[in-house]
Amino acid sequence: MVYSLSGAGPLTNATQNHQSTAHAAAIAGQIRMQLAGDSFVNRLLPSPGLIERIRGRPRGVSLAEAQYVLRRSSYFDHALTRFLTSPDPGQVVLIVGDYDTRPWRFADALSDRTIFAITAVEMAERVRVSPEGPLSVALRSAGFSPATRSLFLWEGGAMFSSRAEVKATLSAIRSLCTPRSLLVLDGRSMATRPAQLSHLGQPVRFAIHPEDLSGLLRRLDFEVIDVADADELRRRFPPEGRSETATGFVMTARLAGL
């Protein structure tokens, strides 16, 4: 069963950061559809008139960004596969679920496993709940079990939030989860002045070096178990043809015993 959450704190209300996240998620979905042949994206993308399309990739998105999005998606896919084939799989939470097709692409592996998707997108396959309050309250209201090992996938969202919002979300995950639960998230490094840093046409509000993010996670009782910067992602998931590198990284952390 797949739940759709709306109104779950700062990530799902009608604030600028959520609008930026949804816009970038739509572009990322479009990249997956056009460059990776993800046919399920057609169920989620808005009408063509809302997001312009050109040959190969969306307008205004560089080749480096498009390739980074595909590699990042592959990293998250592999993390989900490892979780579902582990001896103790459990719940899955898609923190940016607006244009995430994993419930369909991984339908066989997910079977009847519960997936919680924070999204404003209307889909018949998802059961919509509209809880009020913070993320932890929203998930519990939807049936999330704190005693069950969980995987949180936070793809393409943290960078559009403020530092305070990121910390609040990480703290909520910590308060919700049993030890050995996993969090996978991506970020953008401070490669240039903040006012000039953007991703898929949206301004980045939370830019941080991977080492600094690792320190923040450690202070919240997460153990970082894998970090892949843009070069490492290119090594793990080599694309066909010309390859360029965007500034970004992906990280996996495990909740330590409290």
Tens-digit pLDDT profile for residues 187-206: 988 764 555 678 887 788 88
Which of 29-43, 156-170, 206-220, 234-248 bottoms out in mean pLDDT, i.e. has the lowest? 234-248
Mean pLDDT of the chain: 79
In sequence order, which residues have a C-beta less than 8 Å from that of residue 241 and are 6 or more positions away?
Answer: none
* pLDDT given at position 191: 60
Q: Give the pLDDT confidence of 42-75 residue by residue, as tens digits.
A: 777 765 544 444 334 455 678 888 888 999 999 9
Residue with the larger pLDDT of the pair 238 and 151: 151
* One-letter identity of residue 132: E
Q: Give the pLDDT confidence of 118-142 residue by residue, as tens digits.
A: 876 655 455 444 434 578 888 888 7
Phi/psi of residue 39, nearest 5 degrees: -70, -20
> Please, are residues 24 and 202 in contact by the beta-carbon 8 Å criterion?
yes
**What distance lies between CA 92 and its chain's CA centroid?**
12
List, edge to edge, every strand of the sheet that includes 182-187: 126-129, 2-5, 115-118, 91-94, 150-154, 182-187, 249-255, 222-229
* pLDDT given at position 83: 95
Q: Which two tokens stand for residue 56?
A: 């190969």
How many structural domains does the chain have?
Answer: 1
* pLDDT given at position 18: 65
% residues pLDDT > 70 (the chain): 76
Which of 1-5, 28-32, 181-185, 201-205 bottoms out in mean pLDDT, i.e. has the lowest? 1-5
Domain range for 49: 2-255
* pLDDT given at position 121: 61
Task: Give the largest CA-CA distance in the chain.
Answer: 50
Give the model's confidence band at 155: pLDDT under 50 very low, under 70 low, under 90 confident, else very high: very high
pTM for this model (two decimals): 0.86
Give the model's confidence band at 96: pLDDT under 50 very low, under 70 low, under 90 confident, else very high: confident
Identify the CA nearest to 138 among candidates 2, 229, 3: 3
Which of 16-30, 115-129, 131-145, 243-257 bottoms out in mean pLDDT, i.e. has the lowest? 115-129
In sequence order, what are the beta bridge partners of 65?
Answer: none
CATH assignment of the domain containing 157: 3.40.50.150
Give the model's confidence band at 240: pLDDT under 50 very low, under 70 low, under 90 confident, else very high: low
